[in-house]
Amino acid sequence: MKKLTVGVDIGGTNTVSGLVDNEGKCYGTLSFKTRDFVVFDDYIDRLCQDINNLKKVAKIEYELAGIGIGAPNANYFTGNIENPANLHWKDKAGNDLTIIPFVEMVKRHFPSTPVAMTNDANAAALGEMYYGGAKGMQDFLVITLGTGLGSGFVSKGDVIYGHDSFAGELGHICVEKGGRRCGCGNRGCLEAYVSAPGIKRTVFEVLAETNSTSELSNFTIENLESKDIYEAATRGDAVALEAFERTGEVLGMGIAAAVAVTSPEAVFLFGGLAKSGKYILEPTKKYMEQYMLKNFRNKIKLLPSGIDSANAAILGASALAWQKYNQLHADEK
């Protein structure tokens, strides 16, 4: 019988599950509002109900090969979500949960199925490796650009988790001593410059410096969105173009640092900002080459993600399930 895995994407807003084969084809998804469940046990009951109900959605007989979960602050080693900023569950007694034993709870419902969990950016890296542009690569990194900057590093064909599973925080390397305040509390983090809010801050920085007119002058810091900056750039707006140039410089510098440490074959950009195409890729490529050590120059590919963004989070999580399945299968041999 055909084997399929379930990929689960846990976000502050939605919890989405999808059935995925080993080529990244998605056979159906189900979702619910994460905040509809305050008590963690109830949340898990509903999630596992969805995982079972995927049978009805998919028009195919299958054997469940594994469940992979992508979540913020997920610890791959323990299977816990640790101190998440945007997920708030209580135990049955009404106490706030800070260390959430996610994998253990899912396994109670699926005792004979392999279950694994990792954070969103690591899941994105696994998705890229199993189904996307990193197929066959052993050493690469994926940078996810959204409200923050996430990163997943793959070395020798597996994710670098580090000692405590929290490796891959490229968004919080300091790129400007005493620079912009970051959401993490530090100053000058890469994420404070390269992310949706980051490029917005840069637009206002450029507007403050320039005399030239810009269609972006009509926006407040509240209502400006990434797509407005992109669209202004397509119309040749100098402020928008300068914001992309500066964003590309800082991202290129950050990538050069990542390259110096891990020497990847390729760097993949994923997420909202990455959709700005050449406006972000071209300056990033230019500055990445400039800031890199000579022996890395003109060797490292900078590529947009090869994963369809609609189901990307599900695909990444399912890739983790396939990895777990393959590891168990290899041990059986």
Nearer to a copy of itself, 189 or 314 (CB): 189
Supply the minimum distance, in Å, between the C-beta of residue 135 and a copy of itself.
15
Q: Which residues bind a copy of itself (CB under 8 A)?
A: 82-83, 137-140, 151, 153, 155-156, 158, 160-177, 184-186, 253, 256-258, 260-265, 290-291, 293-296, 299
Distance set, CA 73 to CA 17, 49, 236 (Å)? 19, 24, 39
Cα separation, 98 vs 316, whole angstroms: 25
Cα separation, 263 vs 35, whole angstroms: 41
Supply the minimum distance, in Å, between the C-beta of residue 302 and a copy of itself.
14
H helix or E strand, kind and range, residue 160: none
H helix or E strand, kind and range, residue 204: helix 196-209
Cα separation, 128 vs 137, whole angstroms: 10
Residue type, 311: N
Cα separation, 94 vs 104, whole angstroms: 20
Supply the minimum distance, in Å, between the C-beta of residue 165 and a copy of itself.
7
Supply the minimum distance, in Å, between the C-beta of residue 29 and a copy of itself.
31
Nearer to a copy of itself, 134 or 241 (CB): 134
Supply the minimum distance, in Å, between the C-beta of residue 313 and a copy of itself.
22
Supply the minimum distance, in Å, between the C-beta of residue 254 and a copy of itself.
9
Q: Extract the runs of DSSP E, i.e. beta strands, from the chain.
A: 3-10, 14-20, 26-33, 63-70, 81-82, 99-100, 115-118, 140-145, 149-155, 158-159, 266-270, 301-304
